[in-house]
A = this chain, B = another copy of it.
Amino acid sequence: MPRASLRENLIAAAVEQFHTRGYAATGVKDITDAAGAPKGSFYNHFESKEALAVVALERYGDTRRLEALRDRSVAPLTRLREHFEFLRDENIQAGFNRGCLVGDLAVEVADHSDAVRATTHAGLQAWTDALAFAITDAQEAGDVARTLEASTLARFVLNAWEGALISARVDRSARAFESFLTVAFGVLLR
């Protein structure tokens, strides 16, 4: 039976390698090398690079702190702001590289892999749902206008965030994050 710890090391290495190099530019050997595993061990754990990408996306999704968006012990607009500040700080620490792994693989791979497309689709939907949960709470508290449906606002804000990551990456600056926070919390979420 394959060792569980080796499987975990391969997943962690895949998250890191796909995020740093991109999907097509990452070979199976890059992943096994980064995991300190022999190349031949890969196929004991995963059928293909594509199958590993699906698991890597799920694992990455688990680190997005979506559960905090549903934490009713915190005021809804505070939850929303802290969510994007967490993502912003993470990106600044990475030197404005990498973007969001879900967005990265959606752009590079979704047209070519039904499995990756389905997983990125589910990832963005789960994220939208968590944002919509907090936005609904904010609307019920009277902090955000009810003019638009929470789910419409949530997906728009998420898309604006994914685009801000693209701008930050080509600018190598936090300017796009500042604009994002100014417009999202100054105009949309009020």
Contacts and interface: CB of A to CB of B under 8 A. Distances in A.
Given A104-B108, A124-B170, 16 more contacts: A22-B108, A99-B107, A106-B170, A117-B170, A124-B166, A147-B186, A155-B167, A156-B179, A156-B180, A159-B162, A159-B163, A160-B160, A161-B163, A162-B162, A162-B163, A183-B188
Given A160-B156, A166-B162, A171-B121, A148 B107 contact: no
A153 interface: yes
Interface of A: 20-25, 97-99, 103-104, 106-112, 117, 120-121, 124, 147-148, 152-153, 155-156, 158-164, 166-167, 169-172, 176, 179-180, 182-183, 186-188
Contact of A24 (B22, B97, B110): B22
A-side binding surface: helix, strand, loop or mixed?
helix
A106 B169 contact: yes
A117 B99 CA distance: 14
